[in-house]
Structure 1
Amino acid sequence: MTHIDHLVWGVRDLDDGVDTLTTLTGCTPVMGGAHSGNGTRNALLPLGDRCYFEVLAPDPAQDVMNTRGAGLLSFTHPRLLTFAVACDDIEASAARIAASGLPAPQIAAMSRTQPDGEVLRWRLAHVTGHTFGGLAPFLIDWGDTPHPSRLGPAGCSLARLILRHPDHERLAALLAALALDDTIPVDCVPGSAALVADLLTPQGPISLTSTSEPPPSEFFVRGRVQPQ
């Protein structure tokens, strides 16, 4: 069984990213921890049962040269990077990807130490051999580790994920190979490449995107305008 596990939102500075998301949603993400060797740290906001929103930023306590954190330093504004699909059996999911004609994803062990000292461990696999960038999810298997969505304030949820791409039919086929459950709608539509997440929050429904264009001075919220 597979389902959307979390969204990754890239920011240049974690504190600023947390403040922005708090303003948008009315809920304050909790600090997660550092990804040693990757040059990043994060904060997390639950989006319901076993689903969450990850704010990912460079970690000032690490040397970020030649790490993922270095790329985030160039961001002028927050934007969605990609999303993760949780797998009960990551080997089986990787095999389905391989059967669809893409390279078999390589599974790697990962870990992160939380501020309270607890170490979270998971396995992760990136889907390669495509041109969809962050619109193609990566796979994650938490095993026996308590899911990160158990921490942080309740009140937000993921209503829908939209994957916009010129080759949307092939992208839809990739997702079909993962056999996602239908709890959260995922729509593959034609258009310029973009990842769009519709969230329901105490401040009202909002949409966050992967667009590389800076947002306007105000974020549009359905039914009203929410100041930045």
Structure 2
Amino acid sequence: MELGLVRDLWISRPSKIGQWLWREVPSGKFMGHLWLTTKETLLGLALGSLAGLLTGFLLSTSRRVYRILNPFIMVLYSLPRIALAPLFIVWFGIGEASKVALAFSLVYFVMLFNTHEGVQSVRQELIGAVRTMGASRLFIYRRVIAPASVPFLVAGLRVSIGLALIGVIVGEMLAARGGLGQQLAQGASLFRTDAVMGIIAVLAVMALVANSAMGLLERRLLHWRPGVEA
């Protein structure tokens, strides 16, 4: 029985959303958009994580350099990158580069701060004990500091993967040749609520898959911690 309390224009019926998913998701065109968004997200995540990790480790080697650069880092971090998305499109074009750059900018600072905090959390007496045994600086970083920082890095990746997807979707909604964000904006402009809700459902599944993958990675890397099942 229909009560007429909710209009299809506001939120589509589950049956219509299901019909749209059944019709569109298996199509080659939709899978192309899905692959494009996935590729841009993974590229932005990988590049931003690697750059943030390396910068965090480098800054942790000198507290003086970190104190000098910290104000500039905080200014850049405080900039609303989502609001700057139109500038990314002007700078890098409407192709993949602008979406990857936007995702990169969101991921980079999260990984930088988490890496730096992870290195700083290592107990100095532990480092001192290894150093007295004749260990080199490279050995200390590889065998002591890096493993101790893994929980912080995994936590940063958990946050970063969601931010990377958000950055890509926002960039695609503004200007793109394809991708789920572009399809989302197109569906909204045509008042296709079933398409909008269907794409949101696909994005939710992507987020669940990414979270499961991060959980698997966490169990593999942190199997030595109490309470973590391998």
TM range (shorter): under 0.3
Greater relative contact order (CA < 8 Å, ≥ 6 in sequence)? 2
Give the number of the structure whose residues are more often strand, by fraction: 1
Larger Rg: 1 or 2? 2
TM-score by length of 2: 0.23
TM-score by length of 1: 0.24
Give the number of the structure whose residues are more often helix, by fraction: 2
